[in-house]
Amino acid sequence: MLLGLSAVATLLASLVFAYFMLMFHNSEWPLDGIRRPAVGTPAIGLALLVASTVPVLLAGRAIGAGRQRELRLWLATAAVLGVVILGMQARGYAGLGFAHDVNAYTSLFVTLSAFHTINLVIALILNFATQARAWLGHFSAEYHEGVRLAALFWYWAVVCGIVLFATLFLGPLLDPAVQ
C-alpha cells in the first residue's frame, strides 16, 4: 500500500512539476490577466482537511483496543468532515470564473484541483466501505487491515491537499513578476 502510494505521490509530483515549469515558462502568471486566486476559503478547507486526520487516527486507535462503537463514531465524523470539504470545493469550482480550456493556467488550476477532489472521493468511498464493514462487525482488535488501509489513504488525501494548496494558492507568489 505504501509502495502504491509512492507511485501515486510521484504522479502528484509530476503534476506539480508541470505547474511550476509552465509558471516559469511564462512571463505573466496567471495568464491573460486572470487574478491570483483568493487564499481565504481554500485555507479554511485546508484547515478542516488537516483536522479530519484526528478522527481517522482515533478510529484506528479505537479498533486497536477492540472498541467497535467508537470506531464507527470516528469513521462517521471523518466522513462528515470529508463531505463538508467536498461541498466547499464544489462551491469553489462554481465561483471560479474560468474553465479549464482558457489557457495553460486555467488548465493547470482545474486539473490539479480535480486531482485532489478525486483522491478525496476515493478516500471517502474507502471510508464508507470501512463503515459498512464496521457495522457488519468485520474487524477485531487483531484483524483490522481494512481500517488501517482506509486511514492510510485518507492521510494521503490530506497530504495531497496540502501540497496542492501550496502549489495553486501560494505558488503564484513565487513568480518573479509579482514582486
Partner 1 sequence: MTTTEDTRPSVQTADLDRAWATPPGFIGWLSNVNHKAIGFRFIVTAFIFLLIGGLQAALIRTQLIGPEQGFLGPDAYNQAFTLHGTTMMFLFAVPMIEGLAMYLVPMMIGSRDLPFPRLNAFGYWLYLFGGIFLYWSLFTGSVPDGGWFNYPPLSGPQFRPDTSIDFWLLGVTMTEIVGIVGALELVVCIARHRAPGMSLNRIPVFVWGVLVTSLMILFAFPPLVAGGLLLELDRKIGTHFYNPMAGGDPILWQHLFWIFGHPEVYIMLIPAVGMLATMVPAFTRRGIVGYPLVVVSLVAIGFISFGLWVHHMFAAGLPALAMAFFTAASMAIAIPSGVQVFALIATLWRGKLVWSTPLLYIVGFVLVFVLGGITGVMVASVAFDWQVHDTFFVVAHFHYVLIGGVVLPILGGLHYWFPKMTGRMLDERLGKIAFWLIFGGMNLTFFPQHILGFLGMPRRVYTFQSGLGWDFYNLVSTLGTYVTVAGFLVYTANMAINWSRGRPAGDNPWDAPGLEWATSSPAPAYNFAAGPTVSSLYPLWEPEGAAPRGQPGLLDELQGHRREIVGTTVLDAEAIEILELPGNSLWPLIAALAIVLFLFAVMIDSIVLGGIGLGAIVGSLACWLWTGSERTHE
Q: Interface with partner 1 by CB under 8 A: which residues?
A: 1, 3-4, 6-8, 10-11, 13-15, 17-18, 21-22, 25-26, 31-32, 100-105, 107-108, 110-111, 125, 129, 143, 145-146, 149
Q: Which is nearer to partner 1, 41 or 103 (CB)?
A: 103
Kind plus residue range of the DSSP H or E element containing 27: none
Q: Which is nearer to partner 1, 15 or 86 (CB)?
A: 15
Q: Which is nearer to partner 1, 44 or 135 (CB)?
A: 135
The one-character DSSP state at 38 is: P
Q: Which is nearer to partner 1, 81 or 151 (CB)?
A: 151
- In angstroms, give the least distance from the CB of 81 to partner 1: 23
- In angstroms, give the least distance from the CB of 169 to partner 1: 19
Q: How far, in Å, CA of 9 to CA of 152, rounded?
A: 13
- In angstroms, give the least distance from the CB of 167 to partner 1: 14
Q: How far, in Å, CA of 35 to CA of 28, rounded?
A: 11
- In angstroms, give the least distance from the CB of 138 to partner 1: 8
Collapsing DSSP to helix, strand or coil, 61 comes out as helix
CA dihedral 125, 129, 134, 139 (to 10 degrees): -110
Residues 71/139, Cβ–Cβ less than 8 Å? yes
